[in-house]
Each structure stands twice: as structure tokens, then as C-alpha cells.
Amino acid sequence: MVSSSTILVTGADGFIGSHLTETLVKQGYKVRAFVLYNSFNSWGWLDRSPKEILKNLELFAGDIRDPYGVKEAMKGCDAVLHLAALIAIPYSYHSPDTYVDTNVKGTLNVLQAAKELGIKRVVHTSTSEVYGTAQFVPITEDHPLQGQSPYSATKIAADQLAYSFYASFGLPVIIARPFNTYGPRQSARAVIPTIITQIANGQRQIKLGAVSPTRDFNYVKDTVAGFIAALNSEQGVGEVINFGSNFEISVGDTAQLIAEAMNTEIEIVTDEVRLRPENSEVNRLWADNSKAKQLLGWKPAYGGREGFKKGLAETAEWFSNPENLAGYKSDRYNI
């Protein structure tokens, strides 16, 4: 895509979406940011964006579940980066219907509008959760899909819909599959902000769920670079592509690295309410990122243990800013 192209970013008000939106604007793209309509007139994290960014940004408030609004937002765009989704796994246990509406129907709305409008590129956001617990490592894109939570089941459905529009109609879709993205602005329902905000608020007994599961954490700047690589690549259409650091670490060891970065000693306490149902817990994730390197020329700048430590330091610094920390309720369990 040339930088004069107009790019629609759905979920632009969220954690990854806001970072992606800002980076695209800085790189000279015309960006239309699709944010969730609400009575507070909040643009989510984009409310905190620099004025230089906002004055070069077109905002569209709507709802991904509404096909008419989605199509209106996409008119005049060359490409769509589709990130809008419900992503909290615990919330999906008691409100799965909203996940079907948002993740499945919302994705269908994007795909149908893209087909009708002749959009030149659709990058659909998947998640490593679709793999479930690793059956082999590192996890390639050929790994079986396992819907171990209502959230992951709806993302599997959305991914398959996206692929079906490529196979059936030739829609130029790339399915981007980020592993566990972390960084500034992430919701406190995710494990890294959960740990950091508790420490930053002076707590030394850190409440967590299971600490033995492993994850492949991907710093948000790397995830953003992956999306932009997918947007610009001549290859990858019709493909699923992992974005991961190719580095596996347990939740417990992650907590200790964060404590080191914040010059603190901690004790981990198991909080029963934070535990997933036994068969729903994803015990192991470790990404094979060779396909992203081969097709997109993408590789993580924050890869490996040292890259992870660097990313954690930057993340902890952001959360430790009192202005940022004030927006988080670390004394509550966020689902």
C-alpha cells in the first residue's frame, strides 16, 4: 500500500488498535479510525493521543455488529485492518452470545462490505488462543485448532469466515495471528498489567491464577510492525501468519522478571477466582514465526529473553506513571 492509501482500522480505540493507528498516521497513511459508539463520546485510548495525531485522523463512531455502519465506514478505503473484538476469556464464560455477535457477526460484516466495495486488502486479526494447549512446539500455522473457551471458539469461526471469503470470492484477506501481545495501555485483565499494577500500587503479595502455563509474549511495537508488514506485502494473501517472539516463558517466571525490572521482591498468591476451568486452560503457547519472516520479512525487535526484558521495562515504566496507573483498578479482579 502506498502511504496515500486510506486505511480503516476497526477497534482503533483499543490497546493494539490505538498503537497501530498512531503508527500508521506517523508513517503518512490516511487513517479512518473505527471506534465503538458510546454516550460518553469516548474514543478509548485515542483520547490520549497527541494532537498532531488526532488532527490527521478521521474518526468514525459505530458498532462492528451493525452491517450498515460498517459498510459506511469502509466507503472510500483501500484496506481494512480488522481488530475490533471482544477478547477477555473469563467474560466469554458467562456472556458467550456477545462474543458470537461481535467476533463472528462483526467479522462477517467487515468481509461482506469489503467484498461489495472492492477493498484491496483485509487484514483480519486472529489470536494464538485458537490453538489451545500446544500439541507440538513451536506452534506452526498448521497446528490443530481447539476451541477451549467460548472466546477462542468465536475467533476460530471468524478466522474460517475470513478464509472462506478468500476461497469463495477471491477477497484479498490475510489472517494475522498474534501471540500474547503486551505493552503500554493493555487492559488489566491481562496477566502482565495485572502483575505490574499490583506492584506499582505497593502490593508485594501478587494475586494470580495459574502460574505454570507458558506463553509467547509479543511486544506491542512488534505486533504493530507485523500488521503493517501484512498490509504492504505482495505475499501472504489467503494465508494465516503467526506473529510471535519464538520465546516461551511461564507466567510465574514472567512475574519474577517483572519484579526484577521494578526492583521489587514479590510473593505470588493463588487467587482461585482467577483460575480457568481445568479443560479451558491453555497450558502451553510457543510460536513458530518463520512464516512471517519468509512471507512478510517480519521479525520481532523484542524477541528472546533479552528482548522480553526490554519490553517489560518499557511497559512497567508506562504503568508506573501515576497518571496512567490511576486508570487501573489493581485491587479488583478484572474479567
**pLDDT exceeding 70 applies to what percent of the chain?**
98
Task: Report CA-CA distances (Å) from 46 to 50, 257, 274.
Answer: 9, 30, 29
Q: What is the pTM of this model?
A: 0.96
| pLDDT of 206 higher than 90 | no
pLDDT above 90: residue 281: no
Residue 1 has pLDDT above 80, yes or no: no
pLDDT digits (tens, 9 = 90+) for 149-158: 999 999 999 9
Residues with Cβ within 8 Å of 296's Cβ and at least 6 positions away in sequence, in order, are 226, 229, 230, 233, 235, 236, 241
Instruction: Please report how the helices 304-320 and 251-261 are oriented relative to each other, as an axis angle in degrees rounded to 10.
Output: 60
6-181+218-247+285-302 belongs to which homologous superfamily? NAD(P)-binding Rossmann-like Domain (3.40.50.720)
DSSP-assigned beta bridge partners for residue 121: 79
pLDDT of residue 305: 94
What DSSP state is assigned to residue 183?
-
- Mean pLDDT within 42-66: 97
pLDDT tens for 88-139 read 998 999 999 999 999 999 999 999 999 999 999 999 999 999 999 999 999 9
Q: What is the DSSP string of 272-293?
A: GGGPPPGGG------B--HHHH
The pLDDT confidence band at residue 240, using thresholds 50, 70 and 90, is very high
What pLDDT is recorded for position 188? 85
Residue type for position 20: L
User: CB of 102 within 8 A of CB of 70?
Assistant: no
Q: Give the rounded distance of the alpha carbon of 121 from its chain centre.
A: 19
Average pLDDT over residues 264-275: 82
Determine contact, residues 107/127, Cβ cutoff 8 Å.
no
The arithmetic mean of pLDDT across residues 142-150, rounded, is 97
Instruction: Spell out where the chain has E strands.
Output: 6-10, 30-36, 57-62, 79-82, 121-125, 173-178, 180-182, 205-208, 214-215, 217-219, 240-243, 249-250, 267-270
